[in-house]
């Protein structure tokens, strides 16, 4: 018998001072049986980082032809493709051909560092690709916040992310490994 996804609910308040985006989102996240709390929470963080009208979660791990999140135009063109983890260059090449912008949010500490050293030369040809890395200690701390029902506040300013949950707070400074349009 196949295992079913576990459903998580998140009330996420976003204050993005960089983009002047201030919204509250009621989100439902289906965690695939093979997905870790760390990955699910990085997925939620990616939503907060790129939140905009039309941004939505896809079928994720169960569908390899789709990213974790995307934003589509009214004519169904992919405006933003967001992948998590350590995707290979072939997958990213296909994504860059299909979407106006492609964003990778990597995590995983040493594995992410090794992945980047290996793949970086192959990615410089993609002008619409950006890669952001979440430091290992941050993704691990964020994983501990995973609960079936969550209320989180996220404030973004410059290159800093502040997340709060009740009285707890977490500051994350992601590493920008590649910015679209730069080689």
Q: What is the pLDDT of residues 17-75, one digit of tens each?
A: 999 999 999 999 989 888 999 999 999 999 999 999 999 999 766 667 899 999 999 99
Q: Which domain holds residue 167?
A: 7-178
* Residue in the block written with tokens 């967001």: 82
22: β partners? 15
pLDDT per residue as tens digits for the range 125-152: 999 999 999 999 999 999 999 999 999 9
Q: What is the pLDDT of residue 75?
A: 93
Angle between helices 37-50 and 136-143 (to 10 degrees): 110
- Sorted by sequence, the CB contacts under 8 Å of residue 164 that are 6+ apart come out as 152, 153, 170
**Domain annotation covers residue 149:** yes
pLDDT at 183 over 70: no
Q: Residue 163 in contact with residue 142, Cβ under 8 Å?
A: yes
Domain membership of residue 1 (yes or no) is: no
pLDDT of residue 59: 77
Q: What is the mean pLDDT of the chain?
A: 93
**Of the candidates 153, 138, 151, 134, the residue with the CA atom closest to the CA atom of residue 15:** 153
Is residue 119 included in any domain, yes or no? yes
CATH number assigned to the domain comprising residue 49: 3.10.640.10
d(CA 64, CA 90): 13
The strand ranges marked E within the chain are 6-16, 21-31, 55-57, 69-72, 78-84, 99-106, 129-133, 149-157, 160-165, 168-172, 175-178
Residue 183 forms part of a structural domain? no
Sequence-separated (6 or more) residues with CB below 8 Å from residue 59: 66
Q: To the nearest whole percent, how much of the chain has pLDDT over 70?
A: 96
* pLDDT tens track for 160-170: 999 999 999 99
Mean pLDDT over 107-113 rounds to 95
Residue 2 lies in a domain: no
């Amino acid at each position: 018998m196949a295992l079913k996804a576990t459903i998580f609910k998140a009330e996420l308040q976003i204050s993005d001072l960089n983009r002047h985006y201030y919204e509250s989102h009621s989100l439902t996240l289906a965690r695939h049986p093979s997905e870790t709390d760390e990955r699910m929470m990085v997925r939620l963080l990616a939503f907060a980082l790129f939140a905009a009208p039309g941004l939505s979660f896809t079928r994720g791990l169960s569908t390899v032809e789709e990213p974790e999140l995307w934003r589509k135009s009214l004519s169904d063109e992919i405006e933003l493709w967001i992948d998590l983890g350590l995707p290979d260059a072939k997958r990213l090449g296909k994504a860059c051909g299909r979407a106006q912008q492609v964003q990778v949010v990597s995590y995983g500490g040493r594995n992410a560092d090794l992945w980047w050293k290996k793949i970086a030369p192959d990615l410089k040809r993609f002008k619409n690709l950006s890669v952001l890395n979440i430091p290992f200690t941050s993704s691990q701390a964020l994983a501990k916040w995973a609960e079936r029902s969550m209320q989180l506040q996220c404030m973004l300013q410059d290159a800093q992310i502040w997340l709060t949950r009740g009285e707890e707070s977490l500051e994350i400074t992601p590493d920008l490994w590649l910015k679209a349009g730069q080689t």
